[in-house]
Each structure stands twice: as C-alpha cells, then as structure tokens.
Amino acid sequence: MDKIDWSNISFGYMKTDYNVRCYYRDGKWSAPELETSEYLNLHIAATSLHYGQEAFEGLKAFRGKDEKIRIFRMRDNAQRLQSSCRGIMMAELPVELFEEMVLLAVKKNEQFVPPYESGAALYIRPLLIGTSAQVGVKPANEYTFLIFVTPVGPYFKEGFKPTPMVIMREYDRAAPLGTGTYKVGGNYAASLQSGEKAHEMGYSAVLYLDAKEKKYLDECGPANFFGIKDNTYITPKSTSILPSITNKSLMQLAEEMGLRVERRPVAEEELATFEEAGACGTAAVISPILRIDDISENRTYHFSKDGKAGPISEKLYNKLRAIQYGDEPDKYGWITIVGNRKSG
Ligand code: PLP
Ligand code: COI
C-alpha cells in the first residue's frame, strides 16, 4: 500500500483491500462474502438502475490513542437501513447481518483506519440495491447488499471552521410525504443541482426549507441543522428530514451538559435569534455555520462575529469526538470495539 498522508486526506474515495457482499435470493440472505473487485456485474433492467431502488448508510470507525478501533452506533445505522428498505419496498437486511458485515469490512481493511493523531476516520458505506430485472414499476425480488470502506478527512474542507450556507427557494430536496426520512439515492439526486450551484457561489451547503410552505427549516444538504440560544439546543422536526444519528447523540449530550433540548418546527425567522448554528452528521460531524443567506429574499443571518465556532458547538464537538476516539469512556453503549493490529 502506498504511503497515505493521513492528516491531509479529504472526504473522497480511496481504494481499500476488500469489500463485503451478500445476496437476497428466493426469500433468503446469503452468508457474507469477501470481494476484492470494486465492480458489480448488474442486470441491465435492475430496479436500482431504473426506479431508484437503492438505499445506503454512512458510519465511521475511529482509531484511539490505545490503537483500538471503535465503530460508532452501528446498530442505529442498521435500523435506519431497515426503515429505508420498508420505505422503498426492498428486502430488509437483518440487523445482526449488517453488524457482522461492518465488523468484517473494518477488520479486513484495518490498515486503512487512520492513526489517532490525524483526526481522520474510516468511513463505512453500506449499500443495498434491487438487482433483478423489472420493466413495470415494481419492487425487485433479488437484492445485493455490500459494504465498502474508505479513509476520510473532513466533509467540508474547512473542518471545524464556520462556513456560509444558503437558502435556495427555487429547489426542494424532499416532499413532506415523500422519501426525505429514508437514506435513498433519489434524495441526493434531487439535491445535486442546488448543491452545485451553492458551491459555485461559495457556499458549503444548501439549507433546505420545507417544500410545502417554504416557511420551516428542514436540513443542510447531507446533514441535520441545529441552533443554539438561551442555553437551548434546537433542531427542526419535519416529515422530510433524515433522522440523523449524530443529531440524536448531540441531543443527548446537550441535555447532559445542562442545556434544554427542543425538537420542533423551526420557522426561518427564528434564525435571527440563534447565537450559534451548525450542521451535524457522520460526514459533517459538527460543521459550524458562519451565516445563512436567503438569497431570493435578500436576508442574511449571522452566527459568528469573529469567524470562530460558538462555545457550545465547540463543547459538543469535543465531547462527541472524545467518545468516538475513546478519549472518554462510552457510558452510552454507542461504541463497538473491533480490536487492534497487535491482538487482531
Ligand atoms: N441528513 C442527510 C440528508 C444525510 O445524508 C445525513 C448523513 O447521513 C445526515 C442528515 C446525518 O445523519 P447521520 O448523523 O446519521 O450521519
Ligand atoms: C454521511 O454523513 O454519512 C453521509 O452520508 C453524508 C453524505 C456523504 C451523503
């Protein structure tokens, strides 16, 4: 393996040694198989290609100071994938099989888990696709589940430095009764035009409003939104947001730090009252927001006077990272330890 500059890797794809796969046929899931090819052999009429029958997940493994590899909340990802499966009529993958395959994928690619000092992590990408042929719009009866892993640095290249985000009223990500709560590819396809436009304009992400009334906040591209005011952690509730496992963790940590926690509809105007704001997710961790521009309405909301993250966002970020890297004990049962190079 070529030497990797661990401290400077971006959020991108890097080839690792193995991926892990299993197959659903005749109503049963096969045993996991290790694979070295990065390619799939797929039927040209597979439902994943034509009708978007695909769901994915994203979670991370972290190498601690003690060299142990820790995976964060993988059961929650397994359960969310099952919810996505129900959402778009795919065969549900058993939670135990998901966990077994995550552990296998990480163990077999152990040398790609970045060193503790780098602040990087191993991103784990599970993917489930409909593979059997269908020309009418119907669910497949065969599925492939696979997991690949790749070492990653920060999603937003600025890392923990606040970045500007934008409200673009001419685009929606997900409909109120659509697939926004599922982690399915179609939602990301729907976000590509607005996302690219935002990047060209110098924004790190789009903050989507609810598609029906354009009044309430939904989420920030590939991450949930939170705001802080009056010692309260506030995050939007809506029927088109992906339930973030990071956000769920932060709500618990915030409460333990003595903050009030509110998950409720958040009208756009309320942005003017927030002392701090951030995007949170597996890839984004906490990405503090510098300001939000509602471009067609000519409104701007500022969250950082000195270009730095606010104190509560920073405290939450440090606490979450400390648990993930094993600097602080996991009293929540969030961590699964994989083992280390010496003990295997
Ligand atoms: N929202 C969207 C649309 C996402 O793609 C993600 C990433 O998974 C999140 C939120 C954050 O969720 P999590 O914290 O579970 O990674
Ligand atoms: C994640 O945070 O895991 C994501 O899936 C975000 C994005 C890369 C789609």
Q: Does 281 contact ligand 2 (Cβ within 6 A)? A: yes
* Amino acid occupying residue 170: E
In a domain, 52, yes or no: yes
Residue 184 gets which letter from DSSP?
A: B
Q: Specify whether 176 is located in the same domain as 127.
A: no
Q: How many domains does the chain have?
A: 2
The reply to whether 196 and 286 lie within a common domain is yes
- Residues 92 and 219 reside in one and the same domain: no
Quick check: is 54 in a domain? yes
Q: Which domain does 309 fall in, by range?
A: 163-324
* Poorest-pLDDT segment among 4-8, 68-72, 179-183: 4-8
- Is 334 a domain residue? no
Ligand nearest to the CA of 126: 2
Q: Are residues 205 and 87 in the same domain?
A: no
pLDDT tens-digit series, residues 104-161: 999 999 999 999 999 999 999 999 999 999 999 999 999 999 999 999 998 877 779 9
Residues 281-328: pLDDT tens digits?
Answer: 999 999 999 999 999 999 999 998 899 999 999 999 999 999 999 999
Residue 229, domain CATH: 3.20.10.10
| Domain CATH number, residue 78 | 3.30.470.10
Q: Of 125, 155, 188, 320, which is best to mutate to test ligand 2, by the most ligand atoms within 8 angstroms of its C-beta?
A: 155
- Polymer length in residues for the chain: 344
Strand pairing report for 19-25 and 28-29: antiparallel
Domain assignment present for 113:
yes
Q: Are residues 58 and 37 in the same domain?
A: yes
pTM: 0.97
Report in angstroms the alpha-carbon separations of 47 from 78, 93, 183. 22, 17, 17
Does any ligand 1 atom lie closer than 6 A to the CB of residue 224?
yes
The closest alpha carbon to 238, from 253, 252, 225, 229, belongs to: 225
One-letter amino acid for residue 32 of the chain: P
Q: Do 134 and 193 share a domain, yes or no?
A: no
Ligand 1, atom nearest to 249 Cα: 14
Query: What's residue 124's pLDDT?
Result: 98
Please indicate, yes or no, whether residues 197 and 126 belong to a single structural domain of this protein.
Answer: no
Q: Does 255 fall in a domain?
A: yes
Q: Are residues 173 and 314 in the same domain?
A: yes
Nearest atom of ligand 2 to the alpha carbon of 284: 2
282 lines ligand 2 (CB under 6 A): yes
Closest atom of ligand 1 to 80 CA is 15
Q: Which residue has the higher pLDDT, 22 or 341?
A: 22
- Check whether residue 190 and residue 240 sit in a common domain: yes
Residue-wise pLDDT for 248-271, tens only, equals: 999 999 999 999 999 999 999 999
CA of 235 to the centre of ligand 2 (A): 18
